[in-house]
């Protein structure tokens, strides 16, 4: 059976990815689920430089203050760690679950996987389904 890695971008709930993982395991495949990055919640004064931010969303903390939720871009150490993990697991294929707002990150990760791991990448989720 196949060795499959499923990557979720900025979503640790990832229901669709979890359903797919369970189905693949039930069919006898070896599945590794990777949660790559998560939203960070910071106050305005703690926001990093704009170059490190893909998109900012707003929220309210329990004290009623505005907080900034954003996905940091994938760092070089995370890039190297992801590639190393995929090579260690000797995966046959990688699936990436994404939404429209993370398409640039998905493109970047796809390029790394294809160039450095040498396996096919399949996109899933709302963005690839609709477009």
| pLDDT (0 to 100) of residue 123 | 97
What are the DSSP E strand ranges found in 10-103? 30-36, 39-42, 57-60, 66-71, 93-97
The pLDDT, as a whole number, for residue 53 is 57
- Where are the CATH 3.40.50.920 domain residues in the chain? 3-37+74-130
Kindly list the distances between the CA atom of residue 43 and the CA atoms of 35, 65, 66, 127, in Å, as whole numbers in the listed order. Answer: 24, 9, 7, 30
Q: What is the pLDDT of residue 10?
A: 85
**Could you read off the pLDDT tens digit of each residue along the chain, which spans 131 residues?**
999 999 999 888 889 999 999 999 999 999 999 999 877 777 767 766 665 555 667 777 778 877 777 677 899 999 999 999 999 999 999 999 988 888 889 999 999 999 999 999 999 998 889 98
CB-based contact 97:122 (threshold 8 Å): no
In 3D space, the residue among 42, 54, 4 whose CA is nearest the CA of residue 25 turns out to be 4
Q: pTM for this one?
A: 0.82
Q: What is the model's pLDDT at position 124?
A: 94
- Domain 3-37+74-130 fold: Rossmann fold (3.40.50)
Give residue 100's pLDDT. 82
């Amino acid at each position: 059976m196949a060795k499959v890695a499923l990557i979720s971008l900025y979503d640790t709930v990832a229901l669709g990815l979890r359903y797919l993982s369970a189905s693949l395991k039930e069919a006898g495949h070896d599945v590794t689920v990777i949660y790559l990055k998560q939203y960070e919640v910071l106050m305005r004064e703690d926001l990093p430089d704009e170059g490190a931010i893909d998109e900012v969303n707003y929220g309210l903390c329990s004290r009623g203050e505005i907080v900034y939720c954003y996905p940091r871009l994938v760092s070089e150490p995370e890039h190297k760690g992801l590639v190393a993990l995929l090579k260690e697991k000797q995966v046959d294929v990688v699936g990436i679950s994404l939404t429209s707002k993370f398409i640039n990150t998905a493109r970047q990760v796809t390029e790394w996987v294809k160039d450095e791991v040498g396996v096919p990448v399949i996109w899933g989720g709302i963005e690839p389904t609709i477009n």
